[in-house]
Structure 1
Amino acid sequence: MHKINIACFTILFFLFSSYSKAQIAAHSTDKRPFFLNTNKINCITLPFGYSDISKRITIDSILSAIRDENKLKELNSLKFEEVIKKDFLLLPEEYDVFLPFSNNINEKYDRIKIASDFLCYGEYSLYFTAVFNTVRYAKPFIEKIYLISTKDDKLIDMKRIYLNHEREMGFSNNTLFNIDKNYIISLQDYEFTDDPFKLKPLNKYQILPSGKFSRYYDNDGFYKNDEEQGMVKNHNREGKWIEFKSNGYMDLQKYPEFTDPYTYLEAEYKNGLPIGKWKFYKLLQKYNEEAGEPILSTRKKGQLIYTEIYREGILEKREFH
């Protein structure tokens, strides 16, 4: 079973990268591509979102939260009214789900809208942008929500905070969020497949003085889990980090031996932002024959695939080897 899943994931991750850094592309320099409400009366009060996601650890409790009609009404109450045309805004993805636009979209619906209610955060304004699913469903519903950081009407960074991606056979990918009174953003990912359900780690993010989003850790010192390890300073990643994560920038034609969509990444951070040269290697690992799960103790880096150069959190160059 795990070989089939790996083959499917490889195709998906070839299209969508977990390492794609959120970037916004506006194709108009003469005027703002859409209206940004600046009226402070529309600033929402925190906390906002799903406050108890860290306590929901069973399938029934998770599904109850995902299907909670009151919460769905609360999301829609953000007043998603201003339409964003797809020619003006490019929305990146970080998981194996469909991009906002494809050939089978029913164009009679406005798919992307920005809410008039927003978060006030000092000199920054954080706007909610929703992507509506209009395919195969009689009534469009919110499939994704991005939180967009802006300053002086200029787009700085964005982070997807909500996902309700329904797939065939009742499978789905979901993300629930909570933003506490200190503006710490908690994200919990869920994946429902034919395999036993597994609860993914809860990740936290903060808004840096630069207006960019960065991972947030509760405690300083050395941090390690099944996907990453490195030092935390002032709640930020600092220095060298090792990450074992799925990756979609592998050239499958050039590297046909890549049947496993994971890479071994040597990364570097300063004050929570990527800097310097990042090195992506093929991740070598063995699998448990019965469960199809990777054996963590067997992980090691293989050949170098590509490198990325960052300056103050901005990707400047990607080079394949």
Structure 2
Amino acid sequence: MFKINIVFFTSLFFLFSCYSKAQTENKAVKTEVHSTDKGSFSFNTNKADCITLPFGYSDISKRITVDSALSAIQDENKLKELNALQFEKSIKKDLVSLPEEYDVFLPFSNSVNEKYDRIKIASDFLCYGDYSLYFMAVYNTVRYAQPFIEKMYLVSTKEGKLIDMKRIYLNHQGEMGFASHTLFNIDKNYIISLQDYEFTEDPFTLNPLQQYQILPSGKFAGYYDHDGPYKNNEEQGLVKNHHKEGKWIETKPNGSMDWQKYPEFTDSYTYLEAEYKNGLPVGKWKFYKLQQKYSEETGEPILNTRKKGKLIYTEIYREGALEKREIH
């Protein structure tokens, strides 16, 4: 199951291709091409602004309790480091469709920072061979008097052309005290580690650590410490050279399915038969409705009851790029 938000990736693709005349690989999703008459856009290429690794939250694997997670999330020194990346170049918010837009209810219906530039690219970046990796921040400009970085993406480019991107940071303050956070670390070998935290009425959920690596193609792929057969509660398959290879079965929440448009699929989980080559999606992916039972006490899915249901849709990939999606 691919990890990149389709609408956002496609919109950003058109944005940068209009600015730089770049022709890049992209997922085949219809979108509107925005006007670029508001000025030109170019990436910073000054090697003196390349940051030194490691960078981020180096001990996120040890932050496994509420108190330890909160101390990392609220660490003022780390927040200063993020802001010190020099987010100076703005992207107009009407030129890009943002993923994970959060509804803002009364009494927060009006932005208190309407003139604040919401999306910015940092001047400091990562140098990676022929590639440059830029930090893009999405600021929360509503509900709070002082805008802050709510989401951060790492954008992979080569010669000014957009190759791939991945969200690496999240600081979302929800309603009723609920919150979602992602902390990241990029080590000296360019291995990206992401740790998700959910603060709900439970009151705390620690999701498994996820790791990614930048491939020679400039794309991001899941990274695994050990080769050979792999299996956890959500996926199983073969790991080769630290990446997914061949056929995989994945039973995960599916954020790409419009459940309001297709209400017959009432469960956000799908049963996916996927295929990878060198860590990238290839061939035909089949998404089925995941049939499963839930615990009456906790409401959590009972893993040993999971099985494949009705086929929902298929996707065709070539070298990691989505070429076609067909709803069944």
TM-score by length of 2: 0.86
User: Please, which moves more after superposition, 253-262 or 220-229?
Assistant: 253-262
Aligned match for 1:98, one of 87, 91, 102: 102
Contact 1:46 1:179 in 2 (8 A): yes
Contact 1:274 1:314 in 2 (8 A): yes
Give the distance between the partners of 1:80 and 1:19, measured in 2 at CA: 22
One-letter amino acid of the counterpart of residue 107, structure 1? E
Contact 1:35 1:82 in 2 (8 A): no
Identity %: 75
| Pair 1:34 & 2:38 matched | no
CA deviations on 1:27-76 (whole Å, 9 max, x unpaired) are 46564352311111100000000000001111000000000000000000
Aligned match for 2:115, one of 108, 127, 131: 108
Give the distance between the partners of 2:245 and 2:123, measured in 1 at CA: 36
User: Please, which moves more after superposition, 82-91 or 128-137?
Assistant: 82-91
| Pair 1:312 & 2:325 matched | no
Give the distance between the partners of 1:53 and 1:251, measured in 2 at CA: 33
Q: How does 1:8-47 map to 2 (within 5 A)?
A: 20-21=5-6, 23=9, 24-27=12-15, 31-32=19-20, 33-47=40-54
CA deviations on 1:79-135 (whole Å, 9 max, x unpaired) are 000111134444445xxx639xxx965531100011000000000000000000001
Give the distance between the partners of 1:261 and 1:113, measured in 2 at CA: 32
Aligned residues: CA RMSD: 2.1
One-letter amino acid of the counterpart of residue 25, structure 1? F
| Pair 1:238 & 2:232 matched | no
Give the match's secondary structure for 2:14: coil
Unpaired runs of at least 5, structure 2 = 21-39, 104-108
Give the match's secondary structure for 1:25: helix
Give the distance between the partners of 1:126 and 1:290, measured in 2 at CA: 46
The alpha-carbon distance between structure 1 residues 259 and 76, as it changes in their structure 2 partners (threshold 3 A), is same
Alpha-carbon distance, 1:259 to partner: 2.5
Residue 208 of structure 2 corresponds to: 201
Give the match's secondary structure for 2:13: coil
Count of paired positions: 300
Residue 170 of structure 1 corresponds to: 177
CA deviations on 1:210-255 (whole Å, 9 max, x unpaired) are 0000000000011111111110000010001111111244454664
Contact 2:285 2:315 in 1 (8 A): yes
Give the match's secondary structure for 1:169: helix
CA deviations on 1:143-202 (whole Å, 9 max, x unpaired) are 011000000011110000000000011110100000000000000001111124221100
Residue 29 of structure 2 corresponds to: none
Give the distance between the partners of 2:124 and 2:83, measured in 1 at CA: 11
Residue 300 of structure 1 corresponds to: 307
Give the distance between the partners of 2:299 and 2:310, measured in 1 at CA: 24
The alpha-carbon distance between structure 1 residues 220 and 29, as it changes in their structure 2 partners (threshold 3 A), is closer
User: Please, which moves more after superposition, 19-28 or 112-121?
Assistant: 19-28
Residue 227 of structure 1 corresponds to: 234
One-letter amino acid of the counterpart of residue 186, structure 1? S
TM-score by length of 1: 0.88
Give the distance between the partners of 2:207 and 2:270, measured in 1 at CA: 19
Aligned match for 2:221, one of 195, 202, 214: 214
Give the distance between the partners of 1:162 and 1:219, measured in 2 at CA: 25
Residue 68 of structure 2 corresponds to: 61
The alpha-carbon distance between structure 1 residues 90 and 123, as it changes in their structure 2 partners (threshold 3 A), is farther
Give the distance between the partners of 2:61 and 2:97, measured in 1 at CA: 31
Contact 2:17 2:161 in 1 (8 A): no
Unpaired runs of at least 5, structure 1 = 1-16
One-letter amino acid of the counterpart of residue 287, structure 2? F
